[in-house]
């Protein structure tokens, strides 16, 4: 399973984004669902709403009931790890969504993250693997 960051989901929906083709291909060609942190949903809805209005937001949310996206559960263990990550990497100024993706990856033993945010995800060192594999490559 692949964890999806907001940037990939937004770029996949936005034909004018420079990452659109790669992100759309990743979303369409990935076998199985993409796992999404609940903290990511608000970011994606906000940006897709600006780009495509209510229909765009609804289409994004429909992807969960259609099975293309799976909503992850963030636990209190995850929020403690998120806080630790934010303290450990103060210069990155990690937000809740990014820190939740890293915490979820660690807890679930996942090593692949769909993201266009190379800065944060290449600097942070997860506890379960030497580095996260970032897609699209």
Closest C-alpha to 36, from 73, 11, 75: 73
Q: Answer whether 0.85 is exceeded by the pTM.
A: yes
Q: How confident is the model at residue 25 (pLDDT cuts 50, 70, 90)?
A: very high
Percent of the chain clearing pLDDT 70 (strictly above): 100
pLDDT at 33: 83
Q: What CATH number is given to the structural domain containing 75?
A: 3.40.50.1010
pLDDT at 36: 98
Closest C-alpha to 80, from 127, 116, 131, 133: 127
**pLDDT tens, 31-55?**
888 999 999 999 999 999 999 999 9
**pLDDT tens, 70-106?**
999 999 999 999 999 999 999 999 999 999 999 999 9
Round to whole Å and give the CA distance between 118 and 71: 23
Domain tally for the chain? 1
Round to whole Å and give the CA distance between 105 and 60: 22
| Structural domain that includes position 34 | 2-135
């Amino acid at each position: 399973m692949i964890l999806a960051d907001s940037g990939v989901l937004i770029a996949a929906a936005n034909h004018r984004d420079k990452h659109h083709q790669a992100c759309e291909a990743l979303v369409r060609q990935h076998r199985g669902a993409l796992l999404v942190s609940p903290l990511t949903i608000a970011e994606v809805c906000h940006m897709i709403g600006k780009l495509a209005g209510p229909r765009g937001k609804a289409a994004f949310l429909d992807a969960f009931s259609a099975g293309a996206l799976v909503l992850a559960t963030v636990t209190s263990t995850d929020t403690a790890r998120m806080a630790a990550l934010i303290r450990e990497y103060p210069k990155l100024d990690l937000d809740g969504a990014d820190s939740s993706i890293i915490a979820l990856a660690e807890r679930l033993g996942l090593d692949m993250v769909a993201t266009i945010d190379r800065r944060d995800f290449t600097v942070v060192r997860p506890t379960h693997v030497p580095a996260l594999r970032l897609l699209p490559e």
